[in-house]
Amino acid sequence: MSVKYIPVQWNRNKWIYDGFMLAGVVGFLWLFLFVSPEVLSHERPINPQVHNARAFGACAFVMLSVILALGPLARLDRRFLPLVYNRRHFGVMTAAVALTHFGYILNWYFAFSPSGRYEALLFANTSFDRASGFPFEIFGIVALLCLLVLAATSHDFWLKFLTAPLWKRLHYLIYLAYASVVAHVCLGILQDQQNQLFNWIFVVMAVVVVFLHLAAFWHERRSGDPVGETASDGWIAVCKAEDIPEARARIAVLPNGDRVAVFRFENKLSAISNACAHQNGPLGEGRIIACLVTCPWHGFQYNVRNGQSPAPFTEKIPTYKIALRDGVVLVDPVANPPGTPVEPVEVAP
């Protein structure tokens, strides 16, 4: 194969992130199972195995809601960005929790069926014409399959093998998974619940996820990157040089839809693609240290003067020719090949 597997490089931040995540899962399950069963469960007696299944199912739903909330939260407030860095770890653990829920369901609900467990799972409910008795299990299976695919392809090996655009599209399955979980819960457990507290928790979390995505969409639309004006020679005017703070960047949209990030470092201007080679993270939102800009999503670094990652890393991004005319910063809309060095333009003091 053309892409080799590279083991995951663990660091202190990842251990801390995963530690808090695991503690949260254990804490949620403990609360659901032992601390407040009379609040979250039912007036009717409930089998311990069924209660365990619902605990893991509820935990998977909460985890999936948090995962989908982190992205828009980070767009609305940069202080949430550190929580996005290792979100794939969150997704893998969510898939494990959901798989445990499936195991309890399969090995208890359908263990005593006269037919096979998988057959019973698929044909226990067949009333397609009404909500009561609708085969809600199908939605749970779809959600689980999506989560397993996402977990199996979460490693950077698959990102490089499939290429970033295809890998990114594949991971949009997270939205199908969430929609399927919502349908699974609405047509399943909510119809069996007599206590309404869990119903309200479910509704509130689903509404919050939708609201955050809408809020992030309007925020991006209202304060989106400006479209650069085309000069007489075809170059794109980005902004005035004085508008770019030291060690920061200004982002502009090029005529072809790509985004360019113009950085100012040591009073010199350089232009690179705004899209990180890792997961298309917004490099223009990063800060420069020693001529290297760090992607705010996952920490990948690039030299702003040649678009190359520092050794031993090999990632490269396109660079752009840049000019300064009458205090206005202009870039050539035709990108250079990834990793092409470009002489920076000095700003007059």
* Residue 158 belongs to domain spanning: 12-222
Identify whether residues 239 and 216 lie together within a single domain: no
Per-residue pLDDT of 98-149, as tens digits, reads 999 998 888 876 666 667 777 767 777 667 776 666 788 889 999 999 999 9
Q: What is the pLDDT confidence band of residue 45, given thresholds at 50, 70 and 90? A: low
* pLDDT above 80 for 152: yes
**Nearby residues of 159 by Cβ (< 8 Å), 6 or more positions away:** 167, 278, 279
Identify whether residues 108 and 154 lie together within a single domain: yes
> Residue 140 domain-assigned?
yes
> Residue 99 domain-assigned?
yes
- CA–CA dist 261, 34 (Å, integer): 52
- What does the pLDDT average to over 146-170? 84
CATH of the domain at 281: 2.102.10.10
Per-residue pLDDT of 235-281, as tens digits, reads 988 888 888 888 888 998 888 888 999 999 989 999 999 998 887 88
Identify whether residues 177 and 322 lie together within a single domain: no
- What does the pLDDT average to over 328-333? 91
Identify whether residues 111 and 126 lie together within a single domain: yes
> Residue 113 domain-assigned?
yes
Q: What is the pLDDT of residue 50?
A: 78
* pLDDT above 70 for 322: yes
Q: Which of 162, 191, 222 is the last residue of a domain?
A: 222
Q: What is the pLDDT of residue 194?
A: 58
> Residue 125 domain-assigned?
yes
Q: Which of 222, 238, 268 is the last residue of a domain?
A: 222
Q: What is the pLDDT of residue 166?
A: 84
Identify whether residues 256 and 141 lie together within a single domain: no
The DSSP line for 248-300 is EEEEEE-TTS-EEEEEEETTEEEEEESB-TTT--BGGGS-EETTEEEPTTT--
> Residue 2 domain-assigned?
no
Which residue has better confidence, 168 or 235? 235
Q: Which of 46-60, 109-123, 190-204 has the highest mean pLDDT?
A: 46-60
Identify whether residues 212 and 258 lie together within a single domain: no
Identify whether residues 63 and 154 lie together within a single domain: yes
Q: What is the pLDDT confidence band of residue 79, given thresholds at 50, 70 and 90? A: confident
Which residue has better confidence, 20 or 128? 20
* pLDDT above 70 for 216: yes
Identify whether residues 64 and 177 lie together within a single domain: yes
- CA–CA dist 100, 103 (Å, integer): 5
Q: How many domains does the chain have?
A: 2
* pLDDT above 70 for 186: yes
Q: What is the pLDDT confidence band of residue 24, given thresholds at 50, 70 and 90? A: very high
* Best CA proximity match to 341, nearest among 306, 311, 316: 306
> Residue 71 domain-assigned?
yes
> Residue 5 domain-assigned?
no
| Residue that has been written with the tokens 């899962």 in this structure | 25
Q: Which of 80-94, 218-232, 257-271 has the highest mean pLDDT?
A: 257-271
Identify whether residues 156 and 211 lie together within a single domain: yes
Identify whether residues 38 and 20 lie together within a single domain: yes
Identify whether residues 314 and 329 lie together within a single domain: yes
Q: Using the 8-state DSSP alphabet, how is residue 228 labeled? A: P
> Residue 7 domain-assigned?
no
Mean pLDDT of the chain: 83
Q: Which of 222, 245, 272 is the last residue of a domain?
A: 222
pLDDT above 90 coverage of the chain, percent: 34
- The helix (H) or strand (E) run that includes residue 43 is none
Give Cα separations from 42 to 37, 47, 291, 336 (angstroms): 8, 11, 60, 64
Give Cα separations from 153 to 2, 114, 148, 167, 170 (angstroms): 17, 37, 9, 8, 9
Identify whether residues 132 and 20 lie together within a single domain: yes
To the nearest 10 degrees (0 to 180), the angle between helices 87-104 and 137-152 is 140
